[in-house]
Amino acid sequence: MTLPEFSVRQTVLVNVLFVVCMVAGWNALQLTEVEYYHDVTMNQVVITTLWQGASADEVERLITAELEEELRNVGNIDEMRSASQSNVSMISLDFDETLDTVAYESAVNDVRGALDQVQDLPLDAEEPRLVEIIMSEVSPIVMVVVADVGGVGELAIRDVAREAESRLRELPGVSKVEARGLQDREV
């Protein structure tokens, strides 16, 4: 007896099996977790170093060039890009796309080790900060920049930035708010 013949003769059994399959499928659908933005590493890191009061040329010579020199010794880097502007140095490292998770983590640790080897940074510059680019943290992203265009002063700018930071944290759906470059009050 073939499957079509069996199905025609045993209609009740076939209908019961169909309903069981539908219920099992519906249960599986309800129990499946949905992630819109997976934690996918992009095999990319960004190194940011802040130095308040420094010109773009000083940042390039005394921070960016020093860091790049040490980072050239790290393996598995496909591309190194840097940007220096007043107060901040940013270096972006793209690693080989074929690296597996273990090799990528090893390369990131090598970068951290290279950053620890740099001794010649200006004393008032902050420590270089390494951030791994992870898709769920990058997309979607909004950057808010607060600048002293009208000459209101550093304290007023800091207060505005702190207020914006606290309001952004209260918004629904915001997973992370980060303020950079703010100086604390000193007495």
Residue that has been written with the tokens 């990131």 in this structure:
108
Structure confidence by residue, pLDDT tens digits, 80-99: 999 998 889 999 999 888 88
Structural tokens at position 133: 């680019």
Q: Which CATH class is domain 41-138?
A: alpha beta
- For residues 51 and 87, the answer to whether their CB atoms sit within 8 Å is yes
> What's the confidence (pLDDT) of residue 140?
61
Q: Is the pLDDT of residue 9 over 60?
A: yes
Q: Are strands 41-50 and 77-85 parallel, antiparallel or unpaired?
A: unpaired
Computed over every residue of the chain, the mean pLDDT equals: 84
3-class DSSP assignment, residue 41 = strand
Structure confidence by residue, pLDDT tens digits, 42-55: 788 999 999 888 88
d(CA 56, CA 86): 4
Domain ranges of the chain: 1-34, 41-138, 142-187
> What's the confidence (pLDDT) of residue 63?
93
